[in-house]
A and B are shown apart, each in its own frame.
Chain A
């Protein structure tokens, strides 16, 4: 067994044992339940609703679209009548316009879906077009539209396809379960990619705390000499695209201005669930309608991995699986390291929702900040070898020039520095805030 490791990172308690052995259960929305489809479920330009209040929509019908360069259409996961179009909360806490549909319980399928494509007879451009049309975005959490990611300029030679099954976020077991239960779909998705890039070798990177997934994927990859399963050392943030790329290929992501993209290193990185969605889009002709969400945390009665129709609110999901066993004090959409803290569960699940963690008061840590003792742990563990203590200082005193000069804009906001800080300083918080301010300034220019 090859055990790769990147030398930086931390080892938070992983908490995956609560849900790692729970089979994926499908939760179907009830008759009369309202489903919310925000127009902005991805990184890029928000879409516009193409249906009106009162319209009847079917499962798989496109309800939002846009002509922008980087965007991704939204589909209805139920059939029913459009009740309203109004702004709703997103997990990240911002507002987005949304199409609200009342489920009629019939799940009447749109004529547009269910027509498989024969990708073996299609060109690369045609495949990319289908992926775009089917609304597939990066499902690991970033939500960058997949068609843009897998279609770099023609002069970039792609020799590795990095299949990201690391799932380094503690508590989440979505990718793990998907690999165990749908390994064949993952392999089919990789084959589609290899049709587009025949020279690319697929490396499936899985953290070694998921031995079952490694075993299952190894078996599934048998007989394909261009697909290899590579166990990687369990370490946060091993599953960051650039981190995994470096671990698997030894290639370093160049820091340039303007920022380079992963294809510059000859690699394309996709999350395992994204690749399964590509398989579904081409081989079954189905757009992205459902996804698996890990619901866990010490407040949840029945932690597990649940497949939901996108648009279901977290509240409806929690109600459907038996609610809480203790009073929840904190809701996290995503993982505990990078997920968003929400003040309500009346938030719709969107394409990038990978987890819901509900914590009781005992698990809510809110430590007080004290003086930096200059121990250097933040810079020792930073996956990018930045100096978070210095960036934090620049951010706090609003010194944008020094912040940029010291590569603050390249921070991936993984949270490793805040995690490891003995003085419990909110390093990630101030650095992220400074990044936002600075990018907003640049946009205005």
Chain B
């Protein structure tokens, strides 16, 4: 019985905002572009390869899983693209071709889809993928190369490795990675002219992306700011054996990437305003502690993964108080 003149009836409200999940994800992708450009500029073809493999496999796994389990295919919401990009940004440009694929599998299938897809995962999928790869293939995951388009990649230590060991390290080509960074090292960290993962080295590109997200109201400045300031203050107070370099600490080792793109992930951060403060603070504290007392040189990804696990309990104890209740 087809009647084209039927009147639409629906529940209130009859107006909806123009914001959609798809538009939010598109904004996140746009904001990640500067970091991709800088990553490719510094690390060359390897970076392109890792980014493409990671994104394509992430979307592919999401599509295949949803088809296989007879669910609605949601790759159009672009969240898999974001996960793929973030995973790639957390890998070295030297990663063999299978690594981004394995990482995407862990991120999309194990961390995201098995828990119900978008919005249901309890840990950040991209970081779960990275953590899995780091634990399983530590050698490949820490095969850093110095920036440059050279055919023969030059292996190099990362700035934080030098800080961690407390001695100046020397790259294969003879460049000194200082354990007591000066002005020049800080400028290198700002522009991304240092060794590290594809998307984490250029602090300026990440800042531009982050500011774009704040301008578009996709994220609130609160969480990134609290996180960065906490790391700055704690590393500044605690310091390393060779000295205190808080500014250098927040520019290296993925703090910017984590601050603007990882801890602000809607799904794996608290929903309540108060909870978000606790979460960002916790991430900052754990990052600083891992860096200074732990055996890993950086600590951003583990701090976020650890705090992800606390999100349900944070949400539970920071439930918003209804306006007027305080007077009871």
A binding-site residues for B, Cβ under 8 Å = 10, 12-13, 170, 246, 252-256, 327-332, 336-344, 357, 359, 364-367, 370-377, 379-380, 382-387, 389-390, 406-407, 410, 413, 415-416, 418-424, 426, 428-429, 432
Contact among B11, B24, B321 with A428 in the assembled complex (CB-CB below 8 Å)? B11
CB of A336 within 8 A of CB of B13, answer yes
Known: A328-B7, A371-B117, A389-B271. A422 touches B327 (CB 8 A): no
User: Is B309 an interface residue, CB under 8 A from the partner?
Assistant: no
CB of B320 within 8 A of CB of A379, answer yes
User: Is B180 an interface residue, CB under 8 A from the partner?
Assistant: no
- Taken together as a complex, chains A and B put the C-alpha atoms of A293 and B112 apart, in Å, by 51
User: Closest residue to B219 on the A side, CB-wise?
Assistant: A375
Known: A337-B15, A339-B12, A342-B9. A255 touches B324 (CB 8 A): yes
User: Is B19 an interface residue, CB under 8 A from the partner?
Assistant: yes
User: Closest residue to A405 on the B side, CB-wise?
Assistant: B319
Residues of B within 8 A of A12 (CB): 15, 17
User: Is B70 an interface residue, CB under 8 A from the partner?
Assistant: no
User: Closest residue to A10 on the B side, CB-wise?
Assistant: B17
Number of A-B contacts (CB under 8 A): 157
Residues of B within 8 A of A255 (CB): 322-325, 327-328
Additional A-B contact list (7), CB under 8 Å, known A341-B10, A373-B266, A421-B16:
A170-B15, A330-B9, A331-B7, A336-B15, A341-B12, A344-B7, A374-B271
- Taken together as a complex, chains A and B put the C-alpha atoms of A10 and B273 apart, in Å, by 18
Minimum distance in angstroms from B26 CB to a CB of chain A: 12
CB of B118 within 8 A of CB of A253, answer no
CB of A337 within 8 A of CB of B14, answer yes
- Taken together as a complex, chains A and B put the C-alpha atoms of A332 and B7 apart, in Å, by 11
CB of A385 within 8 A of CB of B119, answer no
Minimum distance in angstroms from A243 CB to a CB of chain B: 9
- Taken together as a complex, chains A and B put the C-alpha atoms of A418 and B12 apart, in Å, by 8
- Taken together as a complex, chains A and B put the C-alpha atoms of A372 and B320 apart, in Å, by 18
Residues of A within 8 A of B8 (CB): 329-330, 341, 364, 366
User: Closest residue to A430 on the B side, CB-wise?
Assistant: B11
User: Is B77 an interface residue, CB under 8 A from the partner?
Assistant: yes
Residues of B within 8 A of A339 (CB): 12, 14
- Taken together as a complex, chains A and B put the C-alpha atoms of A340 and B12 apart, in Å, by 7
CB of B116 within 8 A of CB of A365, answer no
B binding-site residues for A, Cβ under 8 Å = 5, 7-17, 19-21, 23-24, 74, 77, 79, 116-120, 266-267, 269-273, 276, 319-328
Minimum distance in angstroms from B256 CB to a CB of chain A: 22
CB of B12 within 8 A of CB of A422, answer no
CB of B322 within 8 A of CB of A407, answer yes
CB of A373 within 8 A of CB of B118, answer yes
User: Closest residue to A382 on the B side, CB-wise?
Assistant: B320
- Taken together as a complex, chains A and B put the C-alpha atoms of A383 and B320 apart, in Å, by 12
Residues of A within 8 A of B319 (CB): 387, 390, 406
27 pairs, A vs B, C-beta closer than 8 Å: A10-B17, A253-B324, A255-B322, A330-B14, A337-B12, A337-B13, A338-B13, A339-B12, A341-B8, A341-B9, A341-B10, A341-B14, A342-B7, A342-B9, A343-B7, A370-B77, A373-B24, A373-B118, A373-B267, A374-B267, A376-B273, A415-B12, A418-B16, A422-B19, A422-B23, A424-B16, A428-B11
Contact among B9, B16, B267, B325 with A365 in the assembled complex (CB-CB below 8 Å)? B16
Contact among B10, B117, B119, B328 with A366 in the assembled complex (CB-CB below 8 Å)? B10
- Taken together as a complex, chains A and B put the C-alpha atoms of A10 and B328 apart, in Å, by 28
Most buried by B among A332, A344, A359: A332
Minimum distance in angstroms from A151 CB to a CB of chain B: 23
- Taken together as a complex, chains A and B put the C-alpha atoms of A423 and B20 apart, in Å, by 6
Residues of A within 8 A of B12 (CB): 337-341, 413, 415, 418, 428-429, 432
CB of A429 within 8 A of CB of B324, answer no
- Taken together as a complex, chains A and B put the C-alpha atoms of A259 and B247 apart, in Å, by 54
- Taken together as a complex, chains A and B put the C-alpha atoms of A352 and B77 apart, in Å, by 41
- Taken together as a complex, chains A and B put the C-alpha atoms of A308 and B24 apart, in Å, by 45
- Taken together as a complex, chains A and B put the C-alpha atoms of A379 and B273 apart, in Å, by 9
- Taken together as a complex, chains A and B put the C-alpha atoms of A303 and B266 apart, in Å, by 42
Known: A330-B8, A341-B10. A252 touches B15 (CB 8 A): no
CB of A387 within 8 A of CB of B272, answer yes
User: Closest residue to B120 on the A side, CB-wise?
Assistant: A371
User: Closest residue to B7 on the A side, CB-wise?
Assistant: A343
Contact among B74, B276, B320, B328 with A385 in the assembled complex (CB-CB below 8 Å)? B320
User: Closest residue to B116 on the A side, CB-wise?
Assistant: A371
- Taken together as a complex, chains A and B put the C-alpha atoms of A422 and B22 apart, in Å, by 9
- Taken together as a complex, chains A and B put the C-alpha atoms of A426 and B267 apart, in Å, by 19
- Taken together as a complex, chains A and B put the C-alpha atoms of A264 and B204 apart, in Å, by 55
CB of B9 within 8 A of CB of A343, answer yes
Contact among A10, A331, A429 with B11 in the assembled complex (CB-CB below 8 Å)? A429
